[in-house]
Amino acid sequence: MTIERPIFYEEQILAPADLTADVEHARGQMARHTRYHHLWGIATGLELTGEDKSTTEGKSYKEITLGVGLAVDAWGREIVLEAAETLDPELFIELNVFTGKDDWHPVFLMGAEKDPTSAPLDLGSCDDDSVNRKLESAEVTFGRPGDEVEIEEQPAAGVADGPGDGGWKILLGFVKFDDDLDLFTDVTDSSEGTGRRYVGVRADEIEAQSGKLTIRSRPSDQTGTPLLVMDESDGGKLQFGLQASGGGITPVFTVDSKGNVTAEGTVSGLLTSGTLVESGVAFDGMMIPLPVGITDDEVADGKVVLHIHVSLHTVKRPSGTLGHVTVALPVECRVDGRRVHCRVAEVSFNPAIGNASYFPAPCDYTILAYVPSAEEAT
């Protein structure tokens, strides 16, 4: 297929098809750009909000409103909702998608191509072909729970196609419905990990012009949200942190162009070669805690070698008159894997007190987790 572009010459009589072809060429070009340079989804607004209401019988329900906004579908078609719209319970019933009061039913937005409604006494031609406008409108529809996961399986555009006639579903959120009241009762943006999808970009290379490239998880006025900054100042650095007021960054992790790493927190999860150490006290029957960042799986896989030393945890005992002093003698203090076996026998120097008493006891431990270097591991 070849893309056709109309051209004109002096004194040409322009037929409607010529002018339409000119418009369609521009629409097709824009749709292909949007489709292949960007990722479809919500561009702005289109938020679902619920307002608490009561029926005349005092039953609670929610009136759900879809706010104004713009989305782009997978054909590259712009879908504009220029006035807020109340979701229609009658449409929900008509679509026959209800599965249960506690189920979250997906709400979709679709682009639609419509003819304008003619006024009853319109003075236009009686010819049906005389319509000289198309309405690029937006339509809300509902689905059954689970329909939202099949959203990527809708008919895709051909590479040369224009924006199509609409019909591609964009997920806006979810609603609950009460089939006794025939009204909505709740609304949410996401259900079971599936939620609203926003527009994106397709790019193998991003090039900044100011010397600083910023990637934000939220708009710049939302402080405390994560962002990533690549900045050529100070010789070049990569920073991760949280958004400060004014859209700046409060860095918690920085790598400079010389490879120096500055981290505000701890670096865990290794596995860099070296030795991690942990020490403390552990009681009989429990496990010696692994150093932070080391996992049981890494030990089991032989990626980490443990060295453990334990000794009886001794304490200062109250002094007593000679003959009444009790001492704790270690009976056992060892580890089986990381499991502690530690017992003491308390013995009195007073013969009247009799035999030793045995108790489970705590041990002091030092655990070294050695991670071999890549060369050693091979």
Partner 1 sequence: MSDKMMVIVNKTTGHVLAAATRRSEPETAAAIEDLVDDGLEINDPESGDRWLTVDPEQMEVKVVDYDENVLIRPRAYQLQDDVPVLLALSISTISLSSSELSISFTFPTGETPPIWIQLENGARDERIVLTEAAATAAPHKFAQQFNVGNAYEILALVGFNTPLTTKLTVS
Nearer to partner 1, 20 or 279 (CB): 279
Q: For residues 30 and 136, is the Cβ–Cβ distance under 8 A?
A: no
Nearer to partner 1, 3 or 292 (CB): 292
Nearer to partner 1, 205 or 336 (CB): 336
Among 157, 290, 304, 335, binds partner 1 (CB under 8 A): 290
Is there binding between residue 369 and partner 1 (CB under 8 A)?
no
User: In this chain, which stretch among 16-24, 57-65, 172-180, 283-291 interacts with partner 1, using CB under 8 A?
Assistant: 283-291
Q: How many residues bind partner 1 (CB under 8 A)?
A: 28
Q: CA–CA distance from 195 to each of 6, 131, 153, 198 (Å)? A: 42, 39, 16, 10
Q: How many CB atoms lie within 10 A of CB 79?
A: 25
Q: Tokens 């001492």 correspond to what residue? A: 327
Q: Tokens 């060429």 correspond to what residue? A: 25
Is there binding between residue 343 and partner 1 (CB under 8 A)?
yes
How many alpha carbons lie under 13 Å from residue 295 in its C-beta half-sphere?
Answer: 7
Nearer to partner 1, 186 or 332 (CB): 332
Nearer to partner 1, 55 or 314 (CB): 314
Among 124, 211, 285, 320, binds partner 1 (CB under 8 A): 285
Which of these, 195, 190, 187, 171, lies nearest to 64 by C-alpha position? 187
| Three-state helix/strand/coil letters over 13-79 | CCCHHHHHHHHHHHHHHHHHHHHHHEECEEEEECCEEEEEEECCCCCEEEEEEECCEEEECCCCCEE
Could you say which residues in the range 321-340 bind partner 1, by CB under 8 A?
331-332, 338-339
Q: How many CB atoms lie within 10 A of CB 361?
A: 21
SS3 340: strand
Nearer to partner 1, 226 or 289 (CB): 289
Is there binding between residue 313 and partner 1 (CB under 8 A)?
yes
- Pattern 242-281, binding to partner 1, x per CB under 8 A? ------------------------------------xxxx
Q: Taking the complex as a whole, how short is the minimal distance between the CB of residue 226 and partner 1, in angstroms?
A: 22
Tell me the β-bridge partners of 345.
329, 358
* Residues binding partner 1 (CB under 8 A): 278-287, 289-292, 296, 313, 315, 331-332, 338-339, 341, 343, 358-362
